[in-house]
Structure formats: structure tokens, C-alpha cells
Amino acid sequence: MYNFEFVKPATLEEAITALADEEAQPLAGGQTLIPTMKQRLNAPGKLVSLLGIEALNHVRMEDGQLVIGGTTPHVTVAEKAAADFPALAALAGGIGDPAVRNRGTIGGSLANNDPAACYPAAALASGATILTDRREVAADDFFQGMFTTDLEEGEIVIGVRFPVPEAASYQKFEQPASRFPMAGVFVARFADGVRVAVTGASEEGVFRWSEAEEALSADFAPEALEGLSLPADGMIGDLHGSPEYRAHLVAVMTRRAVSAALAG
């Protein structure tokens, strides 16, 4: 590691002031940032920890939507969202291992937008709104490709607002060593239609599968997906699986998610 300044503000206003320094970078759970610093792939001169801001750590219902603070750890989402949005709680409870779930935060995950992260699929499938210190951004506009979001320089995620679907499920096929999904699918049914978001499979990161959405909006049943498939072009290919294999996994996980959502 190298020398850097570390500050831990107690309020959002203090954090915004600290982040005005061009060498500053926000620190949430640090599950990605700290390893990249150790490898000298990232070298901020100042780390601004957001974990001391109590107002950013919460899970609550507001006007029929589930609102989660940006520094809320996965384990808290798993516990406190279970009654109102069980599919999201199950997703949070299946991220990584206990150490990751106790340190990692929902805001950090969304801001990082790892192509195999789970939360982006939930946000996109739910039609969530990402809350920042400056504005509100629809999930459809927020995720813009692998490790890329609509966040501006110095802008931080302070929360996310989830519409709660009538039925939903997240199913993933894990790579057993990393526990990241080789393909993860979040299916959410609302009164006006179905949304399907896929993570872990595409070189472009999280995306919506529009053909599956159309089929499931007409008939919310696994059988509605028969004959549907994704092209292998643009899918991730590595030692764990070919693009064709990942495309196949997406279809399988989507059917499983629909079946699980129907089972409640």
C-alpha cells in the first residue's frame, strides 16, 4: 500500500466538501476499491469514507416503495427487506461470503457496476431510481456498460428507491470459486408488465432482455420462454464458459426465476 489521506465525515455535507478535492475518492464497503489500491491499479490521494454517515444506512418503506441508503450493507438488506421485497432480500443474502455481505454496500455495488454484480440486475428489473447527492437517475439510464455509470465526477450514490413488484425472483448460476454469477437473471412482474434483467453474462454488463419481457408480459409462465434464446455475440467467453454457454445459462436462469416467482 502507499500513503494517502483518510477522512471519515459524519454528515453528507462534510463528505461532499471533502470530495471536492480532485485527489479524493469515496469509500463505501471497499470490496473493489481496496484490492485495486493494493494492486496499484488505483491510487487516490484521499479516501473519503461514507460509513460514518448514519443517514445513509437504512431500509424503509416510503410511499409504497422500498428505499435503501447507499451505505447499507448487504447483510442488512437481506434482513430488513425480507418482509417487503423478499426477492431483493434473497439476492442480498446470496452475495459473496459473510465477510463480503457484512462490508459490501448497495451504493458501492451500484456505483462500481461490475459486469457480474447482482444488485444492478435487481435495480434494472425493478425499474429502480438511483439517488445521488445531486439528482435522481432511472436505472435504465444509470447503467451504461461495464464498470460505467451515469455518475459525474465526484457524484456519490446516497440511496436507491425500488418499486415493489407483484412477484419477483433472482436466480444465478455461480462460478464456485468467486461466487460471482456466470449468469444471473432478475425477473419482476408489475401490473403493467414484466421486466427481465441479466447480469454476469454480457461484455457490456447488465442489460434487459426485451424479448423475454414481451413474452412474459403476455403469459407469465416458464412455457412462454420456449424457443427464445439470446445470441452468443457479445457474451463473455473465458475459461469458465464460452459465450454460447453463457447465452444458454441466461435462458435457463430466466425460466427458473419465473418458476420461483410463481411459487412465491
Fold of 5-49: 3.30.43
Fold of 167-263: Enolase-like; domain 1 (3.30.390)
Question: Quick one: pLDDT at residue 205?
Answer: 96
The answer to which of 10-24, 48-62, 75-89, 100-114 has the lowest mean pLDDT is 10-24
Parse the chain into domains and list their residue ranges: 5-49, 54-163, 167-263
pLDDT in tens, 9-54: 899 999 889 888 878 778 787 777 777 777 776 777 778 888 899 9
Question: Quick one: pLDDT at residue 1?
Answer: 59
Residue 142 burial class via C-beta count within 10 angstroms: exposed 0-12, middle 13-18, buried 19 and up:
buried
Query: How does 222-238 read in b/e, with b if 16+ C-beta sit within 10 Å?
Result: bebbeebebeeeebbee
CA–CA distance, 132 with 151 (Å, rounded to integer): 8
CATH code given to domain 54-163: 3.30.465.10
For the record, the C-alpha cell of 47 comes out as 479516501
CA–CA distance, 128 with 260 (Å, rounded to integer): 21
Contact between 76 and 59 (Cβ < 8 Å): yes
Matching CATH topology for 5-49 and 54-163?
no
Give the SS3 label for residue 183. Answer: strand
- pLDDT for residue 86 is more than 70: yes
Contact between 105 and 72 (Cβ < 8 Å): yes
Q: Does the predicted model carry a pTM greater than 0.85? A: yes
